[in-house]
Amino acid sequence: MSHQSCKRMLFGGRLAGVAVTAWTLACAPEGSQASSEGEPAREREVLAEPERWQQSGEDGPFAGHRPDEVSCPPQGALLEAGAYEVQTDACNYLSATQTTLVEIRAGDTLVVDWAHSDLVSPQPAVAHLGIGIGGEVVWQTEIGLQPPPNAIAAAAQRTEVVLEFDAPVGTNMYMHLHNHGANSWRFFTFELIPG
């Protein structure tokens, strides 16, 4: 499928410092770009790995979302079958961190593959997901949840975010998630495509 023919999913818009578009799984652009200054071509690289996420008391740019009581035991957020999985029946709020593995340059695209189970809630509620790098919220979305039989069907997603800032290797990266209800969320690859 060509990049131009991809179907947009979830939302498109702008946040501070980034342009945001969410796409289906079939929509990853191919990535390598030669520098105009004679540097070697930059290739698509892994920015963050599922096994490196660690729960943290540090929320980064999502600090205002932390509830008074947080309960997220180890079984609520862990590596499962190559993905970082969060079970919200056990984990009412997730803040996880790791440091970036490669340099970010303005114009690079962050690609995140993620998925969720059927999404339900005992009462109408909102799930909030976000990714931050350094002090920037680079992507976030809210998904409305309803009681059965109005569940949102399980789905795999691909989110692409054009980053508009530079950041060195080792910059703090943040994953944020909270929702009401017993739902499962899985985060797979976090890759960087040169701009």
| Domain at 55, CATH number | 2.60.120
- Per the model's pLDDT, the better-predicted residue between 179 and 85 turns out to be 85
In a domain, 37, yes or no: no
Sheet with strand 136-145: strands edge to edge: 54-55, 94-99, 172-178, 125-133, 136-145
Arithmetic mean of pLDDT, 157-174: 97
In a domain, 39, yes or no: no
> Would you say residue 131 lies in a domain?
yes
Q: Are 107 and 177 in contact (CB under 8 A)?
A: no
Cβ pair 163, 89 in contact under 8 A: no
Decide: residue 70, CB within 10 A, 0-12 exposed, 13-18 middle, 19+ buried: middle
* Residue 36: band (very low, low, confident or very high) from pLDDT cuts 50, 70, 90: low
18 falls within a domain? yes
pLDDT band at residue 110 under the 50/70/90 scheme: very high
Count of domains forming the chain: 1
> Per the structure block, which two tokens stand in for 52?
């490196």
Residue 38 falls within a domain, yes or no? no
Parent domain of 14: 3-29+44-63+75-193
State the pTM of this model.
Answer: 0.78
- Whether 158 maps to a domain, the answer reads yes
48 lies in some domain: yes
